[in-house]
Amino acid sequence: MARRLLITDGTITVNLLDSATFNIALNGWEPEDPETNDIVRESVHDEGSEIVSSQAKNVIDVIKVKLTGTSHNNIAATLQDLATLKREAKEFQTTDWQKTPVWMEAQTSGETNTRYYLVRKIRFKQGTFPYGLIFENANKSLNNTLTIEREAYARSHAPLSALPTALTTSAAQAPAGQVVATEQFIANHRDTHALTHIYNFDASLSAFSSNLVASTNFDYYVVSGSAPASGDIVYFGSTTGPFRQGVVYISTASSPATSSVAWEIWTGAAWVGGIVKVPVNPIFGAAVGAMPIYIDTPTGWAATTINGVSAYWIRVRLTANPSWSTNPRQGAQVVYNPRENYVSVASTILKGDVEALGLIKYKKYVQVSNDVRWMAIGMKGRGLTNFVSMLNWGGNNPAEWTVATGTDTSTAADIESPSGTRATCTFATNQTLVERIRITNGTAASSADFEGTYHAYLRCKQVTGSAGDVKVRLGVAVTNGIGFSTPTVPLTVVNAGIELVSLGKIKILAPRIILGTESSNGFYFQIDAQAASATPDLYLYDLILIPVDEWGIVPSHAGLSGQQVYDYGAGLQMDNGLLRWGCTQMGPDGASPPEPNRVISKWESRGQLPLFPTDKAFRLYFLLADNATAGTYLAPLHHGGSIKLYAHQRWEFMRGAE
């Protein structure tokens, strides 16, 4: 490997290992680790002190270099390059218009990969008298001191350069052998309603295909080699309950890339359009790649029998002959439906010995009846086996969870609810702040996986009455142990959709109370609610736990008009210095399929910009909401989209071969 030590802006380069210009002196550089900004506390009543916060400062490298040139003018040109980089490094920080960073690249002769450092400041001190013999006659300046102040850790890529390859990730329902494992689809709810059946139906033959749900390769609409024609249908169904999204992967696009189709659900009396939402450009089957399908507020959706199977069905029907020479083909993975709100990164994915700088790229494929104006993201790197972020009050939870209704509360079928069932509190006999519902985890090992700090949100709806008539709070308690409650929070709207209520921060089990081999009793969550009268009803959908103790961020619009992610191919980027810093709303780039590559506006970055842990598996949990009306957050189940993760891996000392 070639030795490497240089400063550059990508165009101008000052090579510090070039005997014709700058050349590092023998033992001229002794790299060191960063000093830290520490907050240290102590008590006169106890021994020692402890660090409660520690953040790395910039590193100041002092490098002894020789400066050589063919002439004084040649040396002047070299110094002018250095001065230009010095100025650019300053202006990159002090102005908004200097967008080119200056960075340092380093690599030893036996080191496989290059390290990159964002440069903050450059200073240079000439060590030789410019009118002395050495400089006059030999065109050399010895004992020069180059001081470079740079970011604390080495990166795997040049700062603010093109994005690296997206990280390989996974998701709960992502199929084995996923064609593109760098993009995962998230749900805005949790349930267990997997797709169980997919049929092609040939109208002319009046025949169905076999169940294709487990098939990794099949042509859409085709039954026994038939040519797709008007009236042919693809059915997607679940016998376990209503589902809210699906993901197909087109491995072979139709040719020509045109067709006329209708997406429909069965409402008990008819097949109805306008509820199933899919991308419009390209249309279904017309381009290679993943394509999500969303069921948007499926009022009246009912099970029906197709090909002898009673299930919740959606279908796509050809409304004209497509005249395809090539049929759209699913492959080489199964069709699936995301049903959880996280993406996972395996422990082997990220190298480096310091947290990686991260970029989270969110893409909203489909325009649904709510936009995304707010998002909460939290990281969890422990207790991943049994932890679930969303617990449904209507059931359909992991087996160790049990729901028990409380005062004036019962469950009822509700197609809008994550499980197809909600809990309803009528306040008929008691309007005071009492327990309305409880969900209990009785398994010691499982409950230990919930140890941590979370921000708790409740999805619910006040029906009838006046806004604010209903107030809720969350109680958390270890079974047969202590309990505590969050403050009460009033709901803000009446019958206006699924409202998201922020209940506050909770801690499940005290920090470090559980050691490696210990377990705890189970624990439970309960919702207490009160109402101004017996008039309003409260619909309870689910409890959402966003982990916040390892890392978290809340990207939010800032209340400006146009600050919503709504379009096909629009998205967000939460970036910690790969391309920029902050949360940025992105618009579709006009390509087919569109990608969220056009900058729209800066969002509020509430919290820390992304930092990904190294050498450990972790998950990012997501919650999406709309905030079209100030103070009111709606979090419907038809929100969703895809997540890609990018990282600049980092090292404290050397990078090596990773």
Partner 1 sequence: MSRVHIVHNPALSGVAQFTGSFGVSNYRHRIGANIGFDTCSFDIRHEKHVLEDMFYTGLGRRLTRYSRDGNFVVWDGFISEMTLVQPGLSMRISLKEMWNRASVRYTPIDTGTNPPTESAETSTAVVDDTTSQAKYGIKEKYFSPPKIDRMIAGNAAQYATVMLSQYREPKRDEDFASGSNDSKLTVFCEGFMHTLGWRIYNQTAVSGQDYVYVVAGTIITGVGQFIYDTDFDTNTTQIQKYYNRDNTALDILQAAAGIGDNTNRRWLFYMLENRILQYKLASTAVNYIRRVSDRKQEILDTSGRAIPFYEVRPNNWLRNSDVMPHGLTPANMQDDFPSMFVESVQYNEPDTLALAGSLGGIAQVIIARAADQGDRLL
If one counts every other C-beta atom within 10 angstroms of the C-beta of residue 402, the result is 14
- Which of the ranges 34-42, 203-211, 391-399, 612-620 carries the binding residues for partner 1, by CB under 8 A? 34-42
Per CB under 8 A, which region of 187-195, 204-212, 390-398, 605-613 contacts partner 1?
A: 605-613
Stretch that binds partner 1, among 16-24, 257-265, 381-389, 505-513 (CB under 8 A): 505-513
User: In b/e form, how buried is each residue of 468-503, taking b as 16+ CB within 10 angstroms?
Assistant: ebbbbbbbbbbeeeeeebbeebebbbbeebbbbbeb
The answer to whether residues 280 and 342 touch, using CB atoms and an 8 Å cutoff, is no
Pick the closer one to partner 1 by CB: 111 or 549: 549
Applying CB under 8 A, among 53, 230, 299, 323 the residue interacting with partner 1 is: 53
Does 471 bind partner 1 (CB under 8 A)? Our answer is: yes
Q: Please state the closest distance from residue 346 (CB atom) to partner 1, in A.
A: 24
Q: CA dist 217 to 306, 492, 656, Å?
A: 22, 48, 42
Q: Is 484 in the site for partner 1 (CB under 8 A)?
A: yes
Does 34 bind partner 1 (CB under 8 A)? Our answer is no
Q: Which of 26, 482, 515, 657 is in the footprint of partner 1 by CB under 8 A?
A: 482
CA 157 remoteness from chain centre = 21
Q: How far is the CB of 291 from partner 1 (least distance, A)?
A: 31
- Residue 374 has φ and ψ, to the nearest 5°, of -160, 150
Do 329 and 219 contact (CB within 8 A), yes or no? Answer: yes
- Sequential DSSP letters for 351-387: -SSEEEEEEEEEEE-S--SS-B-EEEEEEE-S-TTT-
Q: By CB under 8 A, tell whether 468 contacts partner 1.
A: yes
With b meaning 16 or more CB within 10 Å and e meaning fewer, what string describes 164-176?
Answer: eebbebbbbbbbe
Using CB under 8 A as the binding rule, whether residue 120 contacts partner 1 is answered as no
The burial class, CB within 10 Å (0-12 / 13-18 / 19+), for 2 is: exposed
Closer Cβ to partner 1, 179 or 433, answer by number: 433
Query: Rule CB under 8 A: which of 569-598 touch partner 1?
Result: 582
Quote the CA–CA distance of 46 and 78 in Å, as a whole number: 58
Task: Indicate the Cα dihedral angle 591, 592, 593, 595, nearest 10°.
Answer: 0
Nearer to partner 1, 172 or 554 (CB): 554
Give residue 96's Cα distance to chain centre: 28
Q: Per CB under 8 A, which of residues 360..389 are in contact with partner 1? A: 376, 378
Site for partner 1 in 446-465 (CB under 8 A): 453, 455
3 state DSSP class of 19: coil
Q: Which is nearer to partner 1, 231 or 475 (CB)?
A: 475
Selected binder of partner 1 within 506, 570, 600, 643 (CB under 8 A): 506
Kindly report each contact of residues 73-81 with a partner whose C-beta sits within 8 Å and lies 24 or more positions away, as own/partner.
74/139, 75/139, 75/141, 78/14, 78/21, 78/22, 79/124, 81/12, 81/13, 81/14
Q: Is 599 in the site for partner 1 (CB under 8 A)?
A: no
User: What are the start-end ranges of the E strands in 213-259?
Assistant: 218-219, 233-238, 245-252
Among 389, 492, 564, 573, binds partner 1 (CB under 8 A): 492
**Alpha-carbon distance 551 to 491, whole Å?**
28
Distance of alpha carbon 645 from alpha carbon 163, whole angstroms: 10
CA angle 454, 457, 458 (to 5 degrees): 140
Q: Select from 564, 625, 644 the least CA-distant residue to 600.
A: 564
| Contact between 225 and partner 1 per CB under 8 A | no
Please name the helix (run of DSSP H) or strand (run of DSSP E) that holds residue 345, with its range, or none.
strand 342-345
The piece of 8-16, 43-51, 264-272, 347-355 that touches partner 1 (CB under 8 A) is 43-51
Applying CB under 8 A, does 559 fall inside the site for partner 1?
A: yes
Smallest distance, Å, CB 430 to partner 1?
Answer: 15
- The footprint of partner 1 on this chain (CB under 8 A) covers a number of residues equal to 60
As measured in angstroms, the least distance from the Cβ of 42 to partner 1 is 5
Shortest Cβ 468–partner 1 spacing (Å): 6
Does 554 participate in binding partner 1 (rule CB under 8 A)?
Answer: yes
Alpha carbon distance 259, 420 (integer Å): 33
Q: Residue 315 or residue 471: which is nearer to partner 1 going by CB? A: 471
Query: Judged by CB under 8 A, does residue 45 bind partner 1?
Result: yes
- By CB under 8 A, the residues from 521 to 550 that bind partner 1 are 546, 548-549
Backbone angles phi, psi at 86, to 5 degrees: -60, -45
Is 466 a binding residue for partner 1 by CB under 8 A? The answer is: no
Nearer to partner 1, 199 or 551 (CB): 551
Question: Among 589, 608, 653, 658, which residue sits at the site for partner 1 (rule: CB under 8 A)?
Answer: 608
Binding site for partner 1 (CB under 8 A): 39, 41-43, 45-50, 52-53, 94-96, 376, 378, 453, 455, 467-468, 471, 476, 482, 484, 488-490, 492, 502, 504-511, 513, 546, 548-549, 551-554, 558-561, 582, 601-602, 604-608, 630-631
